[in-house]
Structure 1
């Protein structure tokens, strides 16, 4: 990670705060102007009463509606800009937090974790302090599910390469990335099913009785009121007709209040939601994408004319927002007596739904797809020393890496290692002392391979990897709910592994201390038998163990088994760890020293 990216985020966050403060002040000013306009309206009513001129009231109402509409529009515009810059600040500050402490305001994915998944729990893919917490930039639930799916299973080679190209393109458009994140940030506070509910609403019609007649009358009503007011100014007896006409209009709207309220209950809550999605759609449609992947995905909503999804969704958003004018009781009264506002908007919304029969599921899936790509691109943007891995071909298994390290360990603490498995079939036995780094190395191999095979950058200077299916055997736990002992849980996991080796394509296993739930003799015999069976099945993977006898399998199978180890150095009674992997068997162990440190002496 280069310090310059931190500086960029800090400067952008500071600028965004200044802009947010500016627009908040401007919005407050227009709030005061609205209050002033209402005050002038009250004065005009007093003047009309004083001179006994009803026409003044009608004229003032018309002026008030026009002024109020304009002032509300301006105030909403500045409030929207202020909220946008607040969100820009938040997404930039979130990137700073992610770089400095691995924190993230986005969901950590605990809700989609599956304890029985091949590797998710053992490799810390989901949950607090997980890979998902580091990576995720998906505000919508469909985006979160899509990203989780990518991390849960390897993609095909051609898909991986297409995603890599897309990630590289977005990594060069960091301002665009932060912009669309800001537009979608509102979704973090929304219900999980917000998009599903929205799509269901678009399919449900609202029937309005006498719709044709009401549609026609609602168009003529404003002109009737206007003509009545003008007539009343010049013909005194007509003054009594104006309030009667207005009362008729209001009663007409009130008689349909149940339908209007039903529409408002469902649609009224999604107006702002749609407005945010419009901006997200426009962001995607407005870019000239070069990578094949992003071109293909964006083409689903990008037609180049007014049939773009953003234009259609914006039409609905504006109609719903107009219906929301009724939330202000005074404005509601004025609009309804002049032009049957509520009825007009309900009819307009239903007409939009009738004229837009196409499915919008695809459009929102495009947003989810972009969110997932954006999430992976954040790794490349924030970690310039990470690499895009090469995807290897060949019948054998390939994992070749230089300076490979664990992405969830901070840069100042993690230790990197080199590793090479080049188009081969091998089982690597890794021995070593307690806390020397065996388990961490297995997880380092696993978690970087997961990243590589979903298209993401990896925490290494170079990496080449086959498309493989990882299965882990690490944190085996008993289960009281399922009446499962630790040993039974281990047997179940081994059965899963052996079955996968036979049925799945290119399984790569990571085993950390096999059969811990039994005695040492059975542990050794069982572990040896399992590894020999895996060799017969031409399985490939790594086994970390404290049992030195397992390392003797290299002599029995020199073409298939390789020994590696992590060791320690003891200096003046102090243990020194270098966390570097080495070829061969471990000769130095530290259990006795660790026990002595807690006051237990072990006989030599």
Structure 2
């Protein structure tokens, strides 16, 4: 099935290359035609002077200008299509690179990382070589933020099911998905993100109260000029009256200059960018959706008057582009004096803001959710053998899986396991040798649980899970800046866990070798006491440890403790790992053998 997916991407890349070559030729042809038109038109225009017919000269001039503008428009259209296919090629190449080498042109989510999160750091949710890096296909910052939010907190069961349905629907529209990604790829840059953040800040500012006469004046100013022109035809001295609106316009522009500059600084460059976003909104609006989540997003892109929001956003883009005319040194001053242009656009923007301010925020919220869904659908497309988990409403804890593996480990190296916790409250103790697979197994369960509770498929043949919070205790770090030792950091982490269990939150913990920062005697006594405290609180989870004595807790708590282990097989001095979980406590350890391989001799007869 994966070969079929790769074949699709490679086909899209070939098609894109063909279209890029085609439109490159068209762009070059029209560039040459523009030059020929300019030179030929100039020659014909010059020749018309010999006929001494002013109408002919004006007609030729007008025809040349119209033809030249038409060619510029055509060339711009072809250049836009060419850029689309360049983007389409990039997003398809990114998918092949992701499948083959784990590479990704999108954000890896490092900006959302934090050590204080209950599981993000330990499970490699964010950052380089992370789950976010595997999944993310969001070009916008709001999309990345939405995806991070979904991966950092479990959704309610009903929401998870809605996301699963939407992900399956988008995965079935792979052609649409890739074109949507290509349309928004421009936003995968700091400049585009800054422009839109300025626009969003502008729409969050309070509306300015303006005099009604000002809006009426700038609205009817062209009519005023028309009346003055007609009047001057009948009575020439009326031309003097032109200076009155010119002076008024100059005063209005100067008096609003500070506000105009502030508005231009926030949103002046966003016009072109916004028109590109409008294409994305339009794609969502015009697609035929079935899943409740996608149809809701589509409905959210409609105004109260049932006008498509993409049309309103495009109108805003036109207003922003008009505001930028003020920067043109030739027409800017003329427009300002004749039409109070800057004030006119400021009033128009305020009017649009009054009517549609909430729509902009809603539109980008819709876009964020669609990008997050699209990212997750990419997992379903690229790894069709991964299963969507069954979300249970069991009274107790369920975390069961068949052939579950770590999604960030290459398929050729990945070892899968079965695991079963079905509507039970249990603490599982996992013992085993160094490098046997204990930590990886804990991370495998944790990262797949995160994916399941975000609405994504999981790296397993099948999986059942109840909704619960995940808490990990794995990579405990000291902090020189905060004068926190490793042991103090461990205690802080344990305190977070105990606080959560005392609040009776439905939480599943994954502990990898607790209390590493103290001596072996205190480590055992402390670990035993903590596990018994967790049992008394009804907590559920897994503890991985090298300490065999901890596994003896199963004798004291046979209804609550279960023992599992990972072992090794020794072939002389060679260690063979199968990375398979087994019931019971481990009996084979390899630390001494590993030290001997480093040249450190161990006295086998010495007491521990």
SS at match of 1:397: coil
**Displacement of 1:38:** 4.1
**Displacement of 1:32:** 3.5
1:198 partnered with 2:204: no
The corresponding residue for 1:218 is: 222
1:2 partnered with 2:2: yes
The corresponding residue for 1:234 is: none
Preserved CA contact (<8 Å) 1:219 1:339:
no
Tell me, in whole angstroms, the C-alpha distance in 2 between the residues paired with 1:223 and 1:323. 26
Report the more deviating stretch, 418-427 or 498-507. 498-507
Tell me, in whole angstroms, the C-alpha distance in 2 between the residues paired with 1:31 and 1:455. 50
The corresponding residue for 1:487 is: 487
The corresponding residue for 2:596 is: 596
Preserved CA contact (<8 Å) 2:249 2:338:
no
User: What per-residue deviation string (whole Å, max 9, x for no partner) do you get for residues 387-413 of structure 1?
Assistant: 000011222110110000000001110
What residue ranges of structure 2 are gaps of 5+ in the alignment?
A: none
The corresponding residue for 1:290 is: 290
Tell me, in whole angstroms, the C-alpha distance in 2 between the residues paired with 1:432 and 1:108. 33
Report the more deviating stretch, 400-409 or 16-25. 16-25
Alignment of 1:422-437 (within 5 A): 422-437=422-437
The corresponding residue for 2:173 is: 173
The corresponding residue for 2:101 is: 101
The corresponding residue for 1:30 is: 30
The corresponding residue for 1:235 is: none
**Displacement of 1:68:** 4.4
**Displacement of 1:302:** 3.6
Alignment of 1:333-482 (within 5 A): 349=349, 352-353=352-353, 355-482=355-482
What residue ranges of structure 1 are gaps of 5+ in the alignment?
A: 232-237
Preserved CA contact (<8 Å) 2:253 2:336:
no
**Displacement of 1:22:** 2.0
Preserved CA contact (<8 Å) 2:13 2:89:
yes
Tell me, in whole angstroms, the C-alpha distance in 2 between the residues paired with 1:247 and 1:90. 56
**Displacement of 1:346:** 6.3
SS at match of 2:480: coil
Preserved CA contact (<8 Å) 1:250 1:333:
no
Preserved CA contact (<8 Å) 1:222 1:338:
no
Preserved CA contact (<8 Å) 2:249 2:339:
no
1:187 partnered with 2:187: yes
Tell me, in whole angstroms, the C-alpha distance in 1 between the residues paired with 2:128 and 2:471. 21
Tell me, in whole angstroms, the C-alpha distance in 1 between the residues paired with 2:325 and 2:62. 16
**Displacement of 1:45:** 6.9
Alpha-carbon spacing, 1:146–1:75, altered in 2? closer, same or farther (3 Å): same
Preserved CA contact (<8 Å) 2:430 2:545:
yes
Alpha-carbon spacing, 1:220–1:48, altered in 2? closer, same or farther (3 Å): farther
Preserved CA contact (<8 Å) 1:183 1:280:
yes
The corresponding residue for 1:110 is: 110
Preserved CA contact (<8 Å) 2:392 2:464:
yes
Preserved CA contact (<8 Å) 1:221 1:340:
no
Tell me, in whole angstroms, the C-alpha distance in 1 between the residues paired with 2:382 and 2:274. 31
Alignment of 1:112-191 (within 5 A): 112-191=112-191
**Displacement of 1:426:** 0.6
Alpha-carbon spacing, 1:64–1:266, altered in 2? closer, same or farther (3 Å): farther
Preserved CA contact (<8 Å) 1:225 1:338:
no
Report the more deviating stretch, 202-211 or 539-548. 202-211
The corresponding residue for 2:562 is: 562
Superposed CA RMSD in Å reads 3.6
Report the more deviating stretch, 286-295 or 29-38. 29-38
Alpha-carbon spacing, 1:341–1:58, altered in 2? closer, same or farther (3 Å): farther
Alpha-carbon spacing, 1:434–1:296, altered in 2? closer, same or farther (3 Å): same
Tell me, in whole angstroms, the C-alpha distance in 2 between the residues paired with 1:56 and 1:341. 34
Preserved CA contact (<8 Å) 1:429 1:550:
yes
User: What per-residue deviation string (whole Å, max 9, x for no partner) do you get for residues 64-103 of structure 1?
Assistant: 5534443332222111111111111111111111111111
Tell me, in whole angstroms, the C-alpha distance in 2 between the residues paired with 1:481 and 1:23. 57
The corresponding residue for 2:314 is: 314
SS at match of 1:360: helix
User: What per-residue deviation string (whole Å, max 9, x for no partner) do you get for residues 1-28 of structure 1?
Assistant: 6111011111101211221232233223
Alpha-carbon spacing, 1:268–1:80, altered in 2? closer, same or farther (3 Å): farther
The corresponding residue for 1:508 is: 508
**Displacement of 1:117:** 0.6
Preserved CA contact (<8 Å) 1:478 1:486:
yes
User: What per-residue deviation string (whole Å, max 9, x for no partner) do you get for residues 165-213 of structure 1?
Assistant: 1111111111111111111111111344543321333566698996645
User: What per-residue deviation string (whole Å, max 9, x for no partner) do you get for residues 378-435 of structure 1?
Assistant: 1111001100000112221101100000000011100000000010011100000000
Report the more deviating stretch, 453-462 or 21-30. 21-30
**Displacement of 1:292:** 1.2
Alpha-carbon spacing, 1:65–1:340, altered in 2? closer, same or farther (3 Å): farther
Alpha-carbon spacing, 1:17–1:385, altered in 2? closer, same or farther (3 Å): same
Preserved CA contact (<8 Å) 1:300 1:362:
yes
Aligned residues: 593
SS at match of 2:368: helix
Tell me, in whole angstroms, the C-alpha distance in 2 between the residues paired with 1:36 and 1:521. 90
**Displacement of 1:253:** 8.8
Preserved CA contact (<8 Å) 2:45 2:61:
no
Preserved CA contact (<8 Å) 2:390 2:465:
yes
